[in-house]
Amino acid sequence: MSLGLKKGDTVEVITGKDRSTKSSRKRGAILQLLVRKGRQLVRVEGVNKVTKTMRKSEKSPQGEMIKIEMPIDVSNVMLVCPKCGKRTRIRAEVQDGKRKVRLCVKCRKVID
């Protein structure tokens, strides 16, 4: 089950609560790719942050509240081409008869 996305790729949120207006669409790097119960999820840096309360421990005797990124569905994000800076779909193509590469549909440049 290939997503066409990799850890470290820059993506933009296209639907959901982190897309209120065109000017404030959130972009961030992919932190983690997950597959849970047939659903494809991604954790994106700075997107879908929630506050989590941590219990008291030796490291933090007072306890603490931390902000973490929760996963969102892969269908809610779109890859941003590093060459042209636009949101794009991905096309796979075989180059040199052996190596499979990802291409930007808009500018036709190799992403990998």
Torsion-angle region of residue 51: left (phi > 0), alpha (psi -120 to 50) or beta?
Answer: beta
* pLDDT at 1 > cutoff 50: no
Mean pLDDT, the chain, integer: 87
Q: Check residues 18 and 10 and name the one with the higher pLDDT.
A: 10
* Strand, helix or coil for residue 76: helix
Give the CATH number of domain 1-56+64-80; options: 2.30.30, 1.10.150, 1.20.120, 2.60.40: 2.30.30
Encode pLDDT of 38-83 as tens digits.
Answer: 899 999 999 889 999 999 999 889 999 999 999 999 999 999 999 9
| Measured distance CA(36)–CA(19) in Å, rounded | 24
Q: What is the pTM for the complete model shown? A: 0.79
pLDDT value of position 26 = 87
